[in-house]
Amino acid sequence: MTPITLGAFNHLHVLGAGRLLRTVCGARRWTEKITAARPYNSLNELLYTAHRSWWSLGAAPWKEAFSIHGSVVERLRLLDVINADNNTAIADQVESLRELEHQYREKFEYPWVVSLPALAAPEDAQEVVDGLIRTARQRLANDSSSELRLAAEEQARFNRIGLEELIAVRYLNSQQATQS
């Protein structure tokens, strides 16, 4: 995703703004609310509106947003946490994680929404996978309404991070400060 300025975002056609926002969050009603509230005077105003809009939705739009999340195991592969160098060492744990993801989807009827921890070094892969297995087991013990709330909280974090990455205000401000 290429960052854009807040001004450019404010001036996008409604369809273009909606398409861009759906890269952050898959809930169509959320993107409609964010788009309709333009123009924004600051990133903080956008983030506040996004947060309020997210929590004003409900189960169906939240689940729609969750649907764009891929498999945690596949995300780990893309991030090179699981690779040819460590795959044999943690193959059993990866298979356990894959099974837990399947159980999660079966129980809650949406993908597991979870933040992936930062990987400091390739040798941390075992610890990362083990931590995700513990988290998955804990989350599988939740009832449906508690888990929906937890998944919605994770998605709210993803929304904030995605919007911060999308809008280039911080980058542009730091560039202007170094040029002054």
Domain identity same for 151 and 131: yes
Domain identity same for 81 and 141: yes
Question: Which range has the worst mean pLDDT, 67-81, 97-111, 162-176?
Answer: 162-176
Helices (H), 12-56: 14-22, 28-36, 43-56
- Give the tens place of pLDDT for each residue, 117-164: 765 566 677 888 889 999 999 999 999 999 999 999 999 999 999 999
Tokens (6 digits) for 128: 């990362």
Q: How far apart are CA 131 and CA 152, in angstroms?
A: 20
Tally Cβ neighbours within 10 Å of residue 34. 24
Domain of 15 in residue numbering reads as 6-65+156-179
Domain identity same for 33 and 48: yes
Q: Which one has a higher pLDDT value, 93 or 57?
A: 57
> pTM for the full model?
0.84
Q: Which one has a higher pLDDT value, 110 or 178?
A: 110
- Asked, for residue 1, whether it belongs to a domain, the answer is no
